[in-house]
Every structure is written in C-alpha cells, then in structure tokens.
C-alpha cells in the first residue's frame, strides 16, 4: 500500500486530516515495522539478527536483519469511498479513535424525507431535501462529511433543480444532473493536488479559497452563472447557501467520500455511470520507493533499524506468554493483530470491519513512500510508549483469532 493511499483510507474512516497524516508516517516508519519484527520473533523465525546491516530505503541507517517465512496470505483492500459511508469519529471517543457509527450526523434520522419518497424517477422530490436542509440551517452548522449520503446527494440535485438561473445547463429545469457539475468540480480539485497547487494536507477552507472559488468565479467552464450565484437571497453576497453546499461537497470529497452517484453506495445499481476517482487513488499512481515497512512485509530477509529491532523484540517478549499461533501462523495475521494493539495503545481504535481491512492490508503489503506522502523518516521517532514499560500493556491472546477472516 502506498502511503498516500493509507492517508486517504484513514481519512475515509473519519480521522481528521492532520491526525491521519501523522499516523500514516508513524505506521510506515515505525509501528508496522515494530509489529512485523515482533511477529517474526513470535513465530520463531527471527532468531538470527545480524548486526551492522543497512536498508537502502532509509539512507544512513544502520540496523539489524531479521529472517522469516514469506507471508502466507493476501488481504484484499476496498476503495476508500466504498467503506467511508457510515463511519466517523464518535463524540467522546479517544483522540484519533476510528469507530463505526450508525449513519452519519445529519439526514439519517429524516427517513420520511430521504426514504420512500425518493428515487431516480421521482421528479422534483430532491427539492424537498434541499429546502429541508435550508429550513433547518444545517449547512451553517455541519461540515460536509457529517451528512448522510442519500440526504446530501438529493440536496445536490435539489439545489440545481431550484437554481435554473445559476446552472443553466446540466439538463432542463427540474431535471438537473448533479454529476454534470460536481464531477468537473472533483476534477478541478484533483488537478490542484496533483500539480501541487495545494498540499495534500490542505484544509477544506484552503481548497475552497485557492481552488474552487476561482474556478466558480471564472464560470466553472460554462457551468455556472457566477453573478447570479453570488446574489442569491438569504445570505451575504459571496457566501450564499448554494455556495455553502458546494463547499460542503468539497469537504466530503477531500475527506474520502464520493461526489458522484455512480460511486455512492446508496445509488449502486441505479444506472449511474459518471465515476470520479478518489484523490488518494490518483495520487497513489506516483512511483513509490521501498521503505522498512514494505521490506519487512514482503521479503524473507529484511534489514531494519536497531531501535525497531529492539522495540519489536521487547514487544515479542511481552506477548509471548499469551501467544497461541505457533510457528505456522500466517505472518500477516500476527503482524496485523500486533499492529492493531499498538495503535490501540496510542489511542487509535481500529476495530471496525473497514478499519481492520486497512490494518490487514498494511500488514500484508507494508507501506511504501511516495512523493505525495509524509516525508521520509517523519514518523520514525519512537513514541515514548514503544518501550518495554508501555509494551507490557499489550496483551496478544489468540492473536490469530482476531484476524482469521483476513488470512
């Protein structure tokens, strides 16, 4: 897995961008290598530890080698957008926790609005959702990623159905196709990331101000009447409700949620065909270089830094009394279990099925470095809790059982 993909997957699970960026670096440079070393030693394949070896992916690093069998299984990943719906950071959870919630914040409870009354053939019903969103002031108080997918998607169509003077194209009045506008919006945002016009860690406001507003002001390639858009009633000029909804769509897209109906789980099988890839999937096409994480996940013999060997050895010693997997346990399964527990020790809960798929894929493939991901070595510092005293709290009883479905 490339680091920029991991970053996108963590955001799609509901982790704030800054935390996801820092955690991506830490998993790539430290946590996964520590878990992999510990897994190798628990399985009895890490006894030979030659000193003085070096790893080309970590310039200037002296280290020690470990040897273990090739991984026995592969873990399939899923697109970030496909697993994002219904996940977020629960209020009151530990900082950085990733836990499932029932739906998302706004719209899920309005079943009478987004349920049986809606469907591709029901003309004008999307306007009801848009008017409901306006009447309750949701856009002023809720970030884009906090809306139920169906509710927000219907509002995306409703705002265009109600704004024929703003969106003159994209279909006749009351028959607007939201993908006609929001698809190009996604393309403009992706281009800004790929070109470096905005950093990968840009906030919604940064993307809105530096990329989207100029595009809208230019007419959005003929899709928008800017003068009409900025003079809509009910809000100060330049901050209309229609603009707030577009900004909310930006927030959803840069946080891993799909922006076109063909990519939304709620609209699968309904004939929509306009796909827009996630930002992370596009950035992940950049060439990657090996890292310590990718080495310990995919090579029979890998050289890792001495601090990681020391921490991995301490972790293996701490959990050995409760380890039941034996020498035949899949390497990736043991690594995944240990990585999950190390993350939990650092206040990051990755227990949901979608989160466990991410952990399993990291364990099986490792994390490689790309030009768009965190700088090399930015997550290599050993956290204070990755020491014997902190590791003692990690209990790996039946480590394989928790990942049986992944092997």
pLDDT above 90: percentage of residues in the chain = 48
d(CA 106, CA 114): 11
Do 39 and 136 lie in a common domain?
no
**In a domain? residue 96:** no
Q: Is residue 228 a part of any domain in this protein?
A: yes
* 178 Cα distance to chain centroid: 24
Instruction: Let me know: does 385 contact 26? Beta carbons within 8 Å.
Output: no
- Whose tokens are 């991901």? That residue is 373
- For residue 42 the two structure tokens come to 């628990």
Asked if the structure places residue 219 within a domain, the reply is yes
Q: Which two tokens stand for residue 364?
A: 């099986």
Q: Strand, coil or helix: what is 394?
A: coil
- Judge whether 64 lies within some domain: yes
Within this chain, do residues 46 and 115 fall inside the same structural domain, yes or no?
no
Domain boundary among 255, 277, 299: 277
- Tell whether the torsion through CA atoms of 363, 369, 375 and 377 is positive or negative: positive
Residues 267 and 304 placed together within one structural domain of the fold: no
**Same domain (yes/no): 72, 204:** no
Least confident of 142-151, 214-223, 302-311, 386-395: 386-395
Residue 331, in any domain of the structure = yes
Domain count, the chain: 2
Domain limit, last residue, from 223, 244, 277: 277
Cβ 174 vs Cβ 128: under 8 Å: no
Residues 35 and 56 in one domain: yes
Cα(57)–Cα(403) distance, integer angstroms: 29
CA–CA separation, 104 vs 113, rounded Å? 15
253 closest CA partner among 325, 188, 158, 323: 188
Q: How confident is the model at residue 106 (pLDDT cuts 50, 70, 90)?
A: low
Assess whether 58 and 122 both reside in one domain: no
CB 25 within 8 A of CB 303: no
**What is the pLDDT averaged over residues 11-33?**
92
Q: Would you list the DSSP string of 328-368? A: TS-HHHHHHHHHHHHHHHTT--B-SHHHHHHHHHHHHH--B
Domain end marker among 277, 299, 327: 277
Q: Is residue 94 part of a domain?
A: no
Q: Looking at the predicted structure, is the pLDDT value of residue 59 above 60?
A: no
**99 part of a folded domain:** no
Burial of 226 (0-12, 13-18, 19+ CB in 10 A): middle
Same domain, 61 and 139: no
| Cα–Cα distance measured from residue 398 to residue 403, given in angstroms and rounded to the nearest whole number | 10
- Whether 324 and 300 map to the same domain: the answer is yes
pLDDT of residue 54 exceeding 50, the answer is no
d(CA 243, CA 165): 14
The mean predicted confidence, pLDDT, of the chain is 76
User: Is 173 part of a structural domain of the chain?
Assistant: yes
Same-domain pairing of 222 and 158: yes
Pick 168 or 56 by higher pLDDT: 168
Q: What is the pTM of this model?
A: 0.75
Q: Measuring CA to CA, how many Å separate 393 from each of 202, 299, 402?
A: 36, 29, 18
What is residue 72's DSSP assignment? S
- Give a three-class secondary structure readout of 120-153: CCCCCHHHHHHHHHHHCCHHHHCCHHHECHHHHH
Tell me: do 212 and 173 sit in the same domain.
Answer: yes
**d(C-alpha 201, C-alpha 206), whole Å:** 10
**CB count in 10 Å sphere of residue 2:** 24
| The two three-digit tokens of residue 237, written as one number | 């000029």
For the chain, what is the radius of gyration of the CA atoms?
24
pLDDT value of position 112: 38
Range of the domain at 402: 3-79+288-406
DSSP assigned state of 28 = I
Indicate the helix (H) or strand (E) that contains 100.
strand 99-100
Please report how the helices 306-319 and 331-345 are oriented relative to each other, as an axis angle in degrees rounded to 10: 90
Same domain, 127 and 256: yes
What is the 8-class DSSP label of residue 70? P
Q: Encode pLDDT of 164-206 as tens digits.
A: 889 988 888 878 899 999 999 999 999 999 999 999 999 999 9
**Which pLDDT belongs to residue 222?**
94
Model confidence pLDDT, tens digit, residues 121-139: 344 678 889 999 999 999 9
- Decide: 169 and 220 in contact? Cβ < 8 Å: no
The pLDDT of residue 1? 93
| Distance (Å, whole) CA 140 – CA 214 | 22
* Integer Cα distance of 285 and 368 in angstroms: 12
Same domain, 260 and 387: no
In terms of Cβ atoms closer than 10 Å to its own Cβ (0-12, 13-18, 19+), residue 12 is: buried
């Amino acid at each position: 897995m490339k680091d920029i993909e991991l970053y996108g997957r963590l955001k799609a699970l509901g982790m704030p961008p800054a935390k996801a960026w820092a955690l991506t670096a830490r998993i790539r440079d430290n946590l996964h290598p520590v878990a992999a070393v510990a897994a190798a030693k628990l399985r009895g394949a890490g006894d030979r530890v030659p000193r003085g070896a070096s790893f080309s992916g970590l310039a200037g690093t002296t280290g020690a080698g470990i040897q273990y069998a090739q991984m026995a299984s592969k873990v399939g990943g899923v697109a970030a957008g496909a697993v994002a719906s219904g996940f977020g950071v629960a209020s009151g959870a530990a900082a950085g926790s990733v836990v499932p919630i029932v739906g998302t914040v706004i719209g899920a409870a309005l079943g009478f609005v987004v349920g049986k009354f809606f469907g591709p053939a029901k003309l004008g019903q999307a306007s009801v959702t848009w008017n409901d969103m306006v009447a309750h002031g949701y856009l002023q108080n809720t970030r884009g990623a906090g809306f139920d997918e169906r509710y927000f998607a219907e509002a995306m169509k409703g705002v265009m159905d109600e704004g024929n003077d703003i969106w003159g194209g994209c279909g006749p009045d009351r028959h607007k196709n939201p993908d006609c506008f929001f698809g190009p919006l996604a393309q403009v945002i992706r281009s800004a990331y790929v070109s470096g016009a905005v950093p990968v860690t840009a906030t919604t406001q940064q993307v809105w101000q530096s990329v989207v507003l100029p595009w809208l002001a230019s007419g959005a390639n003929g899709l928008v009447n800017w003068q009409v858009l900025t003079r809509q009633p009910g809000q100060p000029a330049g901050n209309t409700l229609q603009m707030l909804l577009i900004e909310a769509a930006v927030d959803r897209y840069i946080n891993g949620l799909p922006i076109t109906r063909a990519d939304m789980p709620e609209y699968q099988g309904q004939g929509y065909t306009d796909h827009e890839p996630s930002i992370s999937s596009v950035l992940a096409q950049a060439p990657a270089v090996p890292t310590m994480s990718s080495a310990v996940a995919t090579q029979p013999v890998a050289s890792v830094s001495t601090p990681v060997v020391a921490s991995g050895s301490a972790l293996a010693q701490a959990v050995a009394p409760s380890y039941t997997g034996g020498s035949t346990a899949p390497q990736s399964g043991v690594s995944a279990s240990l990585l999950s527990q190390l993350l939990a020790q650092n206040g990051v809960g990755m227990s949901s099925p979608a989160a466990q798929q991410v952990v399993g894929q990291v364990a099986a493939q490792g994390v490689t470095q790309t030009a768009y991901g965190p700088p090399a070595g930015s997550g290599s510092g050993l956290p204070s809790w990755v020491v014997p005293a902190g590791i003692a709290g990690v209990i790996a009883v039946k480590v394989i059982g928790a990942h049986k479905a992944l092997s």
